[in-house]
A and B are shown apart, each in its own frame.
Chain A
Amino acid sequence: MELKTKIAAEEGKQELTITRVFDLPVELLFRAYAEPEIVEQWMGTKVLKLDNKKHGGYIFETTDPKGNKHVFSGAIHEFTPRKSIIRTFEMENTPFDAQLEFLEFEELTHETSQLTIKIVYKSLAMRDQMLQLPFAQGINMAHNTLQQVVSKLK
């Protein structure tokens, strides 16, 4: 079976492209990005601000299982319904610099659509670090589980 979500991280380039085909009309796919209540549901985050327009911006806040709050924010440069969003993305209070994101929404058929996200990072090293984040988190999670199991043995 072909993968629905694809990541293209070309060697030596400080960018990456995420593509995904949705079993949804483009209107509905775009709404998932436009309406705060819906963003909250699928991103698993709290939306503190979502000002969808040129010169607008957004602030999201997530709470991890330990109760720590993490803030993600950015500026919106372009917001064209059913077509595109250009924005920045930053994880606040982390050593990671802001990244630039180009989101393109395309109608494939009346019932299907495609989202293409191109992300540009400050440097190649930064891109590779960001790519490794879920990988590192996965390792951390394994460590935490191990710790729980070990502490029960005490």
Chain B
Amino acid sequence: MKLRRDVFQAIADPTRRAILVLVATQSMTAGAIAANFDTARPTVSKHLQILTECELLKQEQNGREIYYHLNPYKMKEIADFIEPFRQMWDDRFNKLETIMKAYKPKK
């Protein structure tokens, strides 16, 4: 299995995160995306390739141009991975709340 297929690996890079932010609002061609960066065009292409491989970006053929757009389902996976962490803290805090209620002075 190639490491770069890991979505977390993909979003660990600042340029790739910037690309995701760019295409979040509208589909863009590779050229239009590259125009937003100082890095060489092949470098941007490489980033696009990685993002596409891990399915964070989808390609769409429109006439002679290929447009890139965000894959919301894959992005949701990233949001979901925080959920177990939140759940862990929520459980812990619920326990704290229950325990401390016993210390409450009875009225």
Q: How far is the CB of B90 from chain A (nearest CB, A)?
A: 4
Q: Does A96 contact B (CB under 8 A)?
A: no
Give the contact stretch, choosing among B25-33, B36-44, B50-58, B93-101. B93-101
Q: Which of the residues A12, A28, A132 comes within 8 Å of B100, measured between beta carbons?
A: A28
Contact A7 B96 (CB under 8 A): no
- The closest CB in chain A to the CB of B104 belongs to A28
Q: How far is the CA of A25 from the CA of B85 in the complex (A)?
A: 26
Contact A4 B88 (CB under 8 A): no
Q: How far is the CA of A115 from the CA of B93 in the complex (A)?
A: 10
Contact B17 A11 (CB under 8 A): yes
B residues near A42, Cβ cutoff 8 Å: 92, 95-96, 99
Interface size on B, residues (CB 8 A): 26
Q: Does A6 contact B (CB under 8 A)?
A: yes
Interface size of A as a range = 20 to 34
Q: Does A20 contact B (CB under 8 A)?
A: yes
Contact B100 A32 (CB under 8 A): yes
Q: How far is the CB of A134 from chain B (nearest CB, A)?
A: 4
B residues near A12, Cβ cutoff 8 Å: 14, 17
Contact A32 B99 (CB under 8 A): yes
Residues facing B in A3-42 (CB within 8 A) are 3-7, 9, 11-12, 18, 20, 22-25, 28-29, 31-32, 38, 41-42
